[in-house]
Each structure stands twice: as C-alpha cells, then as structure tokens.
Amino acid sequence: MRELALNVLDITENSLRAGAKLVRIALNIRFAEDRFSIDIEDDGCGMDEEMLARVTDPFTTTRTTRKVGMGLPLFRYSAESAGGSFSIQSQKGKGTRVHAEYCIGHIDRIPLGDFGGVVLQLITMNPAVDFCVEVRSEEGEGLLDTRQFREILGDVPFTEPEVRAFLREYIQENLVSIYGGRL
C-alpha cells in the first residue's frame, strides 16, 4: 500500500465484513516522541484463538474469492519496518482491536495519505454502521462520532450533498489543526 490511510480502509472493511455496527478509529500523534499510532477497534464477530494466531499470515483468509489475505500482514509489515510495532487482539463474539505504532521520522515509514478522505468514504458508504474517529496530538484533538451527527440530522442521510460537503470540510479542518498534514 502506498499510504497508511488505505491500510485503515482495508482493515476497517474487515470489520464491516465481520458484522461490526460500531467501528472506532484512533490516531494518536506524539511529535515530541517522534511516534504515532493507529488503532482500529470493532464490535464485530471477533476471532477464535486459532484464527487469531494465524491472521497475520498472508495465506490465511476467510474470503472465498481468493486464497490470500494481505491487509493485516501488510499493516504489520508497515509498522515493524518503520521502527514500530503491531498487535491484534480479538475475542469471538466480542470484536477485534488492531494497533500499529510508527516512528514518524523513519525513512521506511509510509505516508499517512488521505486519512480524511478515507474517513469520509467509510461514513458515507456504510449507512448502517457508526464510526467514532478520534485524532489527537500535542496541538489538539478532535472527535467525530456519527451517532451524534445522526441525532442532529434525524432522517437526513450522510450522502446528501450538503451533509457530505459539510463532513468533508469538518474532517479536513480538524485534521489540519491537529496535525497539519505532517504525516
């Protein structure tokens, strides 16, 4: 993958296939420590211990359309090759949490990319799922919780042009103020 935002999209799509109704995505940026982390947590069906032990093997997948699954192995590789770490926890019937930590200044770190665009796509393309996206750094923090937006909007869908435009602007403005495109 050319940007970490696409890893976030891929891992979140796993959550959606697992039946998640709430997906939490968190970016925690610590410029002073030269570190940042990405966490994706869902309330989907989770995995048993056997699958959890094999899930970062590229030749393990639950898909029937192909025999390899590269999302988690690539996410793990991107973190570990950039001076970071990777972990995954899951419990059958409870959900899954994926954590990737990166060294910001590492020469092999893949750029974050269009994180805001990925968040917007996830929200607008999955109307039956709620997303809670939290981004924080020393410079600020922001929270976008679709449950709060749904309360305000009522029956108006996120795909309405005015709502989608507002969300795009809201996401981008907050990301710029929190990390200023430095990832």
pLDDT in tens, 130-146: 999 999 999 999 999 99
Q: Write out the two tokens for 12.
A: 């979140």
Q: The dihedral of CA 14, 16, 21, 22: what is its sign?
A: positive
Q: Write out the two tokens for 26.
A: 């968190």
- Name the domain count of the chain: 1
Cβ partners under 8 Å of residue 97, min gap 6: 39, 40, 41, 42, 88, 89, 90
Which CATH number covers residue 96? 3.30.565
Residue 160 near residue 100, CB atoms below 8 Å: no
Q: Which residue bears the tokens 């393309």?
A: 125
- Percent of the chain at pLDDT > 70 equals 91
User: 38 has which bridge partners?
Assistant: 27, 100
What dihedral do alpha carbons 139, 147, 23, 49 form, nearest 10°?
120
Q: Write out the two tokens for 129.
A: 């799922």
Residue 161 has pLDDT above 90, yes or no: yes
pLDDT tens for 41-93 read 999 999 988 888 877 766 655 544 443 456 888 999 999 999 999 999 999 99
Structural domain span for residue 155: 4-179
What is the DSSP secondary-structure string of 10-63? HHHHHHHHTT-SEEEEEEEEEGGGTEEEEEEEE-S----HHHHHHTTSTT--S-
Question: Tell me, what's the pLDDT at 1?
Answer: 65
Q: The dihedral of CA 36, 8, 72, 98: what is its sign?
A: positive
